[in-house]
Amino acid sequence: MAQKNRQHELYEKLDEVVSHLMDHQPEPGSAEEALLMAMSEYMHGHEQTHYPMPECEVKPVDVIAFQLDRLGWTQAELARRAQIQPTHLSSVLSGKRTLSLTQAKKLAVLFGVPLDRLIPNEFKAQLEPARVTDL
């Protein structure tokens, strides 16, 4: 337990030094910049080990809803532009159905997002790696 407290204290001190260096914006190529980079990398490793972040999956339906809001489009407008039946799109957005690969490709192009954002994780393993990013 004492070791963990000591590591935490050291981490807190490093955080203070890194914040100070960042506030003073070291010159590119300087020793201060090299020190800042080294300490930042060490802190990142420490955080990954001691404070890991859970994997976060953004569901395709959330991507679609966000893009509809961002673009100010209705479901009907999106269905028309993507040439998807409005009832099918409604079922996708309510979680009752999934997009076909062709539909996901159309939406990826319309939204300007990577195709893999519109394919549920459980289906990505079934696709060839090149097909996930291929538009």
Highest CATH level, class, for 60-133 = mainly alpha
Q: Which amino acid is at 60?
A: P
pLDDT tens string for the chain (135 positions)? 677 788 888 888 888 988 888 888 888 889 988 888 888 888 878 887 877 767 667 889 999 999 999 999 999 999 999 999 999 999 999 989 989 888 999 999 999 988 888 887 767 666 655 444 444
15-20 contacts, C-beta under 8 A, 24 or more apart? 15/43, 18/43
Q: Residue 52: left if φ>0, alpha if ψ -120 to 50, beta else—which one?
A: beta
Q: pTM here?
A: 0.54
